[in-house]
Structure 1
């Protein structure tokens, strides 16, 4: 399968490496940053410089590929999807942006190939796992989805390190959040809905953030009384972010906020991804609750040290692409994450990263 990976940053680099290692994918990376491409070229991965913000140039560059994986920031998602449509190429991305997903869905309406956004951790894996749990109930009362990408060793006042896209982080902290309350879909405010819980002896807080639900509100509409998604952080993080975004009014000046975070908050590869889902409802005449949890830590995959957010985000994208290649997913139109079977995902060679497998020797399927 011939795959164009657009965006040679941390996650795009990881996706390219994982796919190349299988021997089942012919991968080429596209970016406008020559230094990012040089890192991939040094590993023997073909690269091509292209302005990803120029849909016409990108459309011409990806002609002849089977699929495009978009690993660029959320604000480029729609233009890259339009380029994929123009080139007749299957489209996959990692966007958490609700408006971008709606626009991509419109692009897919008359397309003869697949458009599958939100293929990462959250949205992505969290939605397909929650959907699988919800389907085990005859009556669903409540679905709670919690995800945290956290430093394993928090040291600063925010108790946070940068582990993924700063643009994506700011976007999910600033945009309205979908939820279902009293069986009705609603918009709730980011950073609100603060709650505290503990897991394995560690205290956490969680609050509303945008995009993590993907299309699950629509999929479960009319079947669930309450559904929400919250980001998990260490206690105290939310109060400081509220101070920056609201009191200092940086929610309206994202460039300044981005500069502050990049200058002041270090990145780390020593991280942990926490997935925590609870579903409550009726089964066989009884009120019961099912819980799904995972903790994924940074480790070496295919001989390369990877952070937990690299493993979970790139691993989810590769698993979904692999299942599509194996024709276990629809081959045209708009595809939701919850159309992926949790059993198929966790049984996939890439999905096994969520079960603690190392993928040390990635056998060809």
Structure 2
């Protein structure tokens, strides 16, 4: 039987999710948004739409009548409202949020519920946590887990060496919020944009630094089981210094709306991007110190006859794979569901997860050292 899915948010990622789900024939998708232009794009491609203001929780709850699941592709600050509407309407809930506060609130909403609530279903948090947890499980004793992800322009030209490839609200949020990490076996908060590293992959130089939210619930899951655990965003060298100047020296971290306006005006978006995934896990296996590495480079390409950026492919592909695994009964069917409860093998073998498998596996980094 087909699963009836309310897709809330018809932006770039939402449109990709709608295409991927519809293509299978196993999902009936209706897109909700208040933006008529975004809905018109989906209408033109035969995907049913409804004009609903997602900030209006009672209206959203009413619109959800008859659906099995809600997929939330809206900015992080609407997640709690939308999850509350899902619970009131009796539908399962999936989202892409990287916001730590929203995730804690959704966990409280999910408490003792017969519905499933699964936030953080994108790339990071999301797929990156599935990989890290799977690698950690293969060791008898885990010392260090390093998770590095970059969504980058393939052809950087501006001073920031960056183009907008996904939610600008999410980007600013992860640059401004404190970041969870485990150091010397203790969970602690570290500052965003700190902890700079420089490394090189396939002859290209990169930098990585702390950003918020990418670990999902891994700090809690691996507490007491790992000495070091951290997540950093990957950029081209020089990006972090300019962002630190904007956020700290020019105090734009206290004026997020102004920063958003500035970046939208000055930094072009691109569909010619690359997503870099790099996870290393170090520890003991059968008495020997070993390091396991998982790497992928994913490029923009046509999927289902539609051009998609690498960040669209990885983000939409991840949440569709997890919704599909839920539909098949592979994942828990009620309560709060963590990313690390998703088996990596099942994810990569899933029809949507295969979008990750088709990627280039990159060479091991030449060096990965703190600056």
Could you report, residue by residue, the CA deviation over 1:277-323 in whole angstroms, capped at 9, with x for unpaired residues?
Answer: 00000001011100000000000001011000000000000000000
Tell me if 1:97 matches 2:99.
yes
1:139 alignment partner, one of 104, 127, 141: 141
2:327 alignment partner, one of 322, 325, 350: 325
Aligned to 2:186: 184
Q: How does 1:288-299 map to 2 (within 5 A)?
A: 288-299=290-301
Q: CA deviation at 1:331?
A: 0.5
Aligned to 1:127: 129
- Provide the rounded CA distance (Å) in 2 between the counterparts of 1:57 and 1:163: 31
1:48 alignment partner, one of 36, 40, 50: 50
Aligned to 2:344: 342
Aligned to 1:287: 289
Could you report, residue by residue, the CA deviation over 1:256-289 in whole angstroms, capped at 9, with x for unpaired residues?
Answer: 0000000000000000000000000000101110
Q: CA deviation at 1:144?
A: 0.1
Gaps of 5+ in 1: 358-365
- Provide the rounded CA distance (Å) in 2 between the counterparts of 1:355 and 1:137: 23
Tell me if 1:29 matches 2:31.
yes
Aligned to 2:177: 175
- Provide the rounded CA distance (Å) in 1 between the counterparts of 2:357 and 2:162: 25
Aligned to 2:4: 2
Q: CA deviation at 1:355?
A: 1.1
Could you report, residue by residue, the CA deviation over 1:32-76 in whole angstroms, capped at 9, with x for unpaired residues?
Answer: 000100000000000000111010000000111000000000000
Aligned to 1:201: 203
- SS at the partner of 2:192? coil
- SS at the partner of 1:5? strand
- Provide the rounded CA distance (Å) in 2 between the counterparts of 1:301 and 1:74: 26
Q: How does 1:62-81 map to 2 (within 5 A)?
A: 62-81=64-83
Provide the TM-score with structure 1 as the length reference: 0.97
- Provide the rounded CA distance (Å) in 2 between the counterparts of 1:232 and 1:116: 26
Q: CA deviation at 1:110?
A: 2.4
Aligned to 1:87: 89
Aligned to 2:366: none
- SS at the partner of 1:344? helix
Aligned to 1:18: 20
Number of equivalenced pairs: 357
Tell me if 1:233 matches 2:227.
no
1:306 alignment partner, one of 305, 308, 316: 308
- Provide the rounded CA distance (Å) in 1 between the counterparts of 2:356 and 2:326: 19
Gaps of 5+ in 2: 360-371
